[in-house]
Structure formats: structure tokens, C-alpha cells
Amino acid sequence: MYLSGIIGERLPIRYYLTSGMLASGAFTALFGLGYFYNIHSFGFYVVTQIINGLVQTTGWPSVVTCLGNWFGKGRRGLIMGVWNSHTSVGNILGSLIAGYWVSTCWGLSFIVPGAIVAAMGIVCFLFLIEHPKDIACSSSLVAHSRGHENGAHRFRLQKQVFADDENKPLDPEIQCLLLSDGKHPVHQSHVVVLPADGRGSMAAISFTGALRIPGVIEFSLCLLFAKLVSYTFLFWLPLYITSVDHLDARQAGELSTLFDVGGIFGGILAGVISDRLEKRASTCGLMLLLAAPTLYMFSTISRMGLEATIAMLLLSGALVSGPYALITTAVSADLGTHKSLKGNSHALATVTAIIDGTGSVGAALGPLLAGLLSPSGWNNVFYMLMVADACALLVQGTLTAESPGGRRAPPSPTVCQGKVQIKDPVLERMIDPCLLHTHLEKTQKPPREVQLPF
């Protein structure tokens, strides 16, 4: 995952994501073909799973980066909370597909999902637009691509702001930035000089540079423990339901999907709360605090019957998956566009990969520890989950209120001492005050707000 994020910063997202999805589908299906060809080599399945895990790491850094390109910080929690529900939907479909064929033809439990992933990879290649600048949008802004400055190709965005005195001489710096053909005189313009190619003119951040962003290490460790709890439920929940409620494998698989249904609502709720409070870390901490006693209640109440199990699955899914969803989406996007980067947006994939890659360590440890502890009793498994949840809460408490996750920094709408305010979230992402070389005509008029449509 760490290497995938670094590579993803330097390649077109559409091609990178498509190739990863096609490869993921191929190796997932290859695992299932072992059933039809009667392959009983342990090494075959180990190598197939390792390669499959490698190619699947191309996915998350790419999609979070793409979504971060389209949406500013204003309602990122809600938007990404709704969007992140696709992970729970995928878990539900995977459980249903696996449960349907697990007792009759387990090879199809891998071939069918592999075919779906590969097909969606083709859809991604045909329709994914990774950045707003990749499409032609009608706008009242005037863009000019002519001109070079300091050896870098630039374009200019001009917004007319006419003054009362049109005969007032223009500032020399503004004069040299106006149209070179002289056919379209511009008076009192707000001229913004931006790199012509948003990807090519900015160097991608290094791995160590991403680690130095405030909050990255803390949220990475928090996700490690949160993902440990979530993936333990994902892999061991059907077996637990079978032993407690005495259901067969198919029924247990179907019932376990309710945990992901609760996760959908938990992710959306976490996003809404974090947007309203403007505190990502506090939202995660609150849900983690409530999750610990809920896990204890799950281990006791779920033994009272099927109805109690359903209720606890929904509640536990919401509280466990909420922080996990928030950290892997909105928090990662916030940290990937942190103000310390000074406008370098080529950190999204690397930051996302660091956070989610560290979380994947927990995803591997959780099911392993559950397998070691389950023979001694399911209570020990739940104690382990509660300890992991407490560790996540402890790490979360170390975050300062000023971090992007603790107190989400308000958007930076102001360019040049408040003269022009950018309210559009797409332009907010494209036009970072730290990147701009901005020239504003001095005027005696009071400061005014200019709405830049897109």
C-alpha cells in the first residue's frame, strides 16, 4: 500500500486504477479456478493471494485522490460518508455470493466477484474523470494559455472588476500579463497565474514528507486498531453466529451482512457530525468511546436470541465502521490537502496509502488473533477487540485540536488579504492561495466579494 500511493502520485489515476482492477479480477478468479482444476498446492493459493493483495492496493489511494479532486472541505464528511457506503455494499455482496456457493461450488465464490471487478475496471476506464479540469466547463472566467513565466507554462484566469475611473493607468505587472495580441483590452482585471498542467508542474510529495504532515501518524495508528476490530468481524462473524444461533453457513453469512448495513449508516452519521462540529478527531473519539461497551454488550446480548443478535449487529456495525470510514475518506483527503503542503495537491494518494496501509496491518492481525483466541472461548476474542478499541481511542486522544482531524481548518477562501474570496469548492481546490502569483490593481474602493462561477 505504501508503494502504491507513491506510484499513484506519478501516474494518471484512470490508467492506474483500471489496470489494478483488471489484475485484481484476474487473480481473484484464478484463486477460484483451483477448485475446477483440482489444484491442491498450498503454494499456489499463497502466491495467488499475495499477488492479489498487491494489485488491490492500487484501488483506495486512487479513488480517494479522485474524489478529493472534485470536492472541497465544506461538506467532505457527508459526501464521502455517503460515497464510502460502497465498501459496505461490496462486503454485503461478497458475503452473499460466497455464502450462496460455499457449500456447493466454492470456486464460483471467487470467479464471480473477479468477473465483476474486471467489468467495473472497464467501466472505470471508459467513464472516470479524475479532475474537473479534464472536462470543458462553461464559465464566465476567461482562461488564456499563452505565456511562460520562469520557464513554466502558465495560463491566466481573468475576472472583470471594472473601477469607476477606466482611464486610471494599469500596474506594470498587470499590463505585462494581459492579452499579448492586444485585441481584447481588459481594465482593472483580477489576474491569476496558475500552472497550465496541475500535475506536471508540481513535484509529488515524498514518503517521509507525507509522514511529517501533522496528524498522519496518529490517524494511521488509530486506523490500525479500528481496522483490526472491523476486519475481525468481517472474517469471523459468520462462524460466531453459527456457534451462537446454531444457523448453517449460508444463513450465518446472510445475517452477518447486517453488520455492514449498520456500517453504512455509521459512516454517513460520522461524516455529518464531523462536518457540523468541524472536528474529525472528536467525532472518531466519541464513536470509539461508545463502541467499547457496545462490543461487550454484543458478546452477552447476542446469546439471547436472533432478534437480539440483529439489533447488536446493526449498532456495533455503525459504531465500529463509523470512525474507520471517516479516517479512510474525509480525514485522508483533509490531510492530503493540509495547509503545510503549501498547495501541493500531489500528496493525496501518498497520505491515503500511508493511513490505509497502516490500517491494513490491523486488518491482518485481527483475524489472526481471533483464530488464536477463539478455541479458548469467544469471550476472549471480544476482550481483545475491546482492548484494540481502547488503544484506538488512546491514540486519538493525542491529536491536537489544531490538526485537520481535530479541528478541521476552515477553507481558505481569501486571496490577497481578503480582496477576492473564492466560494466555489471546485475552484477552492484548483486555486490555492499558496500557489497563486496574484496581481490585483490597487483601488480606493472598499473590499468586495467576487463570486467566481464554474
Residue 96: predicted pLDDT: 85
With b meaning 16 or more CB within 10 Å and e meaning fewer, what string describes 160-182? ebeeeeeeeebeeebeebbeeee
Mean pLDDT across 408-431: 43
Q: What is the pLDDT of residues 260-269, one digit of tens each?
A: 999 999 999 9
Phi, psi dihedrals of residue 399, rounded to the nearest 5°: -70, 140
187 pLDDT above the threshold of 70: no
Q: Which of 57-61, 80-84, 87-91, 140-144 has the lowest mean pLDDT?
A: 140-144
Q: Contact at 8 Å (CB) between 320 and 233?
A: yes
Q: Is the pLDDT of residue 347 over 60?
A: yes
> How does DSSP classify residue 182?
-
pLDDT value for 343 = 54
pLDDT at 100: 86
Give the mean pLDDT of 368-384.
91
In angstroms, the CA 410 to CA 134 distance is 27
Q: Which domains does the chain have, with CATH numbers?
A: 2-132+203-397 (1.20.1250.20), 146-195+411-439 (no CATH)
Alpha helix stretches (DSSP H) within 37-145: 42-56, 59-70, 76-83, 85-101, 108-127
Complete DSSP assignment for 308-364: HHHHHHHHHHHHHHHHHHHIIIIIHHHHHT-GGGTT--TTHHHHHHHHHHHHHHHHH
The full DSSP string for 108-132 is HHHHHHHHHHHHHHHHHHHH---SG
pTM: 0.67
Q: What pLDDT is recorded for position 76?
A: 77
pLDDT of residue 16: 93
Q: Is the model more confident about 17 or about 438?
A: 17
Which set of grid coordinates corresponds to residue 152?
A: 513554466
Residue 154 C-beta-side C-alpha neighbours within 13 Å: 19
Give tens-digit pLDDT for 288-338: 989 989 988 888 887 787 888 889 999 999 999 999 899 988 888 888 766
**Is the pLDDT at 130 greater than 90, yes or no?**
no
Instruction: Report how far apart, in Å, the C-alpha atoms of 396 and of each of 2, 294, 328 are.
Output: 22, 19, 14
What pLDDT does 43 receive?
A: 94
Residue 341 has a pLDDT of: 60
With a cut of 70, say whether residue 420 has pLDDT above it. Answer: no
- Model confidence at 281, pLDDT cuts 50, 70, 90, reads confident
pLDDT (tens digit, 9 = 90+) per residue, 149-167? 434 444 444 444 444 444 5
Q: Is the pLDDT of residue 196 over 90?
A: no
- Residue 386's pLDDT band (cuts 50, 70, 90): very high
Model pLDDT, residue 257:
87
Neighbours of 355 (CB within 10 A): 32
Q: Does the pLDDT at position 450 exceed 50? A: no
pLDDT bucket at 110, cuts 50 / 70 / 90: very high
Other beta carbons within 10 angstroms of residue 305's beta carbon come to: 11
**Residue 245 near residue 309, CB atoms below 8 Å:** yes
Residue with cell 478468479: 29
Highest mean pLDDT pick, 74-83, 271-280, 313-322, 349-358:
313-322
Nearest Cα to Cα of residue 188 among 214, 211, 209, 160 = 160
Q: Which helix (H) or strand (E) holds 160?
A: strand 152-160
Residue 376 has pLDDT above 60, yes or no: yes
CA distances from 88 to 323, 338, 387 (A): 14, 28, 24
25: pLDDT strictly greater than 60: yes
Provide the mean pLDDT of the chain.
Answer: 75
Q: Say how far apart CA 61 and CA 360 lie, in whole Å.
A: 13
Q: Are 6 and 350 in contact (CB under 8 A)?
A: yes
